[in-house]
Amino acid sequence: MNYIPNSSTILATLLSFSMVLAGGLAAPAAAQGDQPEWGDQMYAELEGMVGVYNENVNAEDLGVAASQVRNERVNLVVTDSDGSQATASFRLDSELKIQELQQGTRDDATMKMSTDRQTVDRIVESNNPSRAFQNAIQNGDITIDGIGTINAVKWVVINNAANLIRSFF
C-alpha cells in the first residue's frame, strides 16, 4: 500500500523546505556602480515607460495576486544573454503604480524580481506595459523572490503554487 501524505503534512514539508531555501533568496543584487554599459540604456527606457505603465495599471486585473505585491519595495535584476546583470529598483504603491524608480538596488527592498533583457525590452516597447508586465509574471518570464525570511517563505509557497497551476494549463 502506498503512503499518501495528507495536506497538512505536505504544507509542513513545503514550509520546512522553504525555510531552508530562504537564506539563499535574500542576497542583494549588484549595486549601481556595478552596472554593465547596457544598464544605463535599460534604466532610461524604464524611466520613459513608467508614465504609460502607471496610466494603464489596474490592480484588479491581478486579482488576489495584487495583494501580494502592493506596497512592496522591489529590486529588479535583469540578465543579458552574456550573463551580465543590470539592476533597477522601485516601490509599488497600493494601486500597483511604480514610484521611486532608481538605478541600482535599494537597501530596504522586500522583494526581488528577476528576468532577462528580452522580457524588459518587450515590456518597455509594449503599447500597454502594465499588461505586458502582468503577462510576463503569469508566464514565468519574471520570477519573484522575497527578501527576508518571512517574505522568502511566502514567495516560495506562491511560486510553487503558480508553477503547479502552470503545469496543468
SS (H, E, C) the chain: CCCCCCHHHHHHHHHHHHHHHHHHHCCCCCCHHHCCHHHHHHHHHHHHHHHHHHHHCCHHHHCHHHHHHCCCEEEEEEECCCCCEEEEEEEECCCCCEEEEEECCCCCCCEEEEEEHHHHHHHHHCCCHHHHHHHHHHHCCCEEEECCHHHHHHHHHHHHHHHHHHHHC
pLDDT of 50 over the 70 cut:
yes
Q: Would you place residue 29 in the very low, low, confident or very high pLDDT band (cuts 50, 70, 90)?
A: very low
pTM passes above 0.85: no
Q: Which domain holds residue 59?
A: 29-168
Average pLDDT for residues 136-155, to the nearest whole number?
90
% the chain with pLDDT above 90: 49
pLDDT of 142 over the 60 cut:
yes
Q: Is 7 within the bounds of a domain?
A: no
Q: Is 6 within the bounds of a domain?
A: no
Q: Is 20 within the bounds of a domain?
A: no
User: What is the pLDDT at residue 131?
Assistant: 86
% the chain with pLDDT above 70: 78
Q: Is 9 within the bounds of a domain?
A: no
Q: Is 22 within the bounds of a domain?
A: no
- The string of pLDDT tens digits covering residues 81-103 is 999 999 999 999 999 999 999 99
- The CATH number that applies at residue 36 is 3.30.1050
Classify 71 in phi/psi space as left (phi over 0), alpha (psi -120 to 50) or beta.
left
**CA separation for the pair 30, 22 (Å, rounded):** 19
Q: Is 129 within the bounds of a domain?
A: yes
- The string of pLDDT tens digits covering residues 5-24 is 434 333 333 334 333 333 34
Q: Is 120 within the bounds of a domain?
A: yes
Q: How many domains does the chain have?
A: 1
Q: Is 15 within the bounds of a domain?
A: no
Q: Would you place residue 63 in the very low, low, confident or very high pLDDT band (cuts 50, 70, 90)?
A: low
- The string of pLDDT tens digits covering residues 69-81 is 899 999 999 999 9
